[in-house]
């Protein structure tokens, strides 16, 4: 896949590997601004040079070519780093937080509804007097 160079209105420049079919697709910069594709001279990338050879941290295998690297990464369940991966992770993390918050609210509501009337009244009285509540999420051990 070709590497395309993009520049946003704020002057941030970034490279993106895209399939040719996505050549004209708009791309967002990390700063959140739409970026435009720039034409730059072609860069030819040789296979891994001898000084770039390495031992795979996942398998301990000696890696001396891009093909070996690709196969090693596939076997190990690894992918090349792209800045968008970090953004995707943060987005999934936020979604998970919202999901947990919703589950917590539902659990609290359910427990409150199952309380006897007297306990509900006592709790409502305590809350109306200005008691500060703080909750934290933790991992249950059973």
What percent of the chain clears pLDDT 90, i.e. is strictly above it? 30
Tokens at 98, concatenated: 């919202």
Do 88 and 108 have their domain in common? yes
**Cβ atoms of residues 76 and 68 within 8 Å:** no
Do 1 and 37 have their domain in common? yes
Give the count of domains, the chain.
3
In Å, how far are 36, 37, 43, 110, 137 from 8, measured between CA atoms? 6, 9, 22, 49, 39
Structural domain span for residue 55: 46-80
pLDDT digits 0-9 by tens, 39-78: 777 766 666 666 577 888 888 888 888 888 889 999 998 8
Residue 53 confidence (pLDDT)? 79
Residue 50 confidence (pLDDT)? 61
Say what the pTM is: 0.37
Helix (H) or strand (E) holding 15, with range, is strand 13-17
pLDDT digits 0-9 by tens, 14-48: 988 888 888 888 899 999 999 998 877 776 666 66
Asked if residue 133 is part of any domain, the answer here is: no
In Å, how far are 67, 111, 115 from 121, measured between CA atoms? 69, 14, 10
pLDDT (average), residues 132-139: 67
Do 33 and 17 have their domain in common? yes
Residue 98 confidence (pLDDT)? 94
Asked if residue 142 is part of any domain, the answer here is: no
């Amino acid at each position: 896949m070709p590497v395309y160079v993009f520049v946003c209105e704020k002057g941030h420049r970034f490279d993106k590997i895209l399939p040719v079919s996505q050549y004209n697709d708009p791309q967002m910069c990390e700063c959140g601004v739409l970026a435009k594709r720039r034409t730059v001279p072609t860069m030819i990338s040789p296979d891994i040079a001898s000084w770039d050879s390495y031992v795979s941290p996942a398998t301990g295998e000696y890696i001396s070519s891009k093909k070996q690297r690709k196969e090693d990464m596939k076997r190990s369940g690894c992918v090349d780093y792209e800045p968008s991966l970090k953004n995707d992770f943060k987005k999934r993390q936020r979604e998970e937080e919202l999901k947990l918050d919703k589950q917590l609210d539902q659990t609290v509501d359910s427990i409150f509804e199952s309380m006897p009337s007297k306990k509900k009244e006592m709790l409502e009285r305590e809350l109306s007097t200005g008691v500060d509540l703080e909750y934290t999420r933790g991992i249950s051990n059973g």
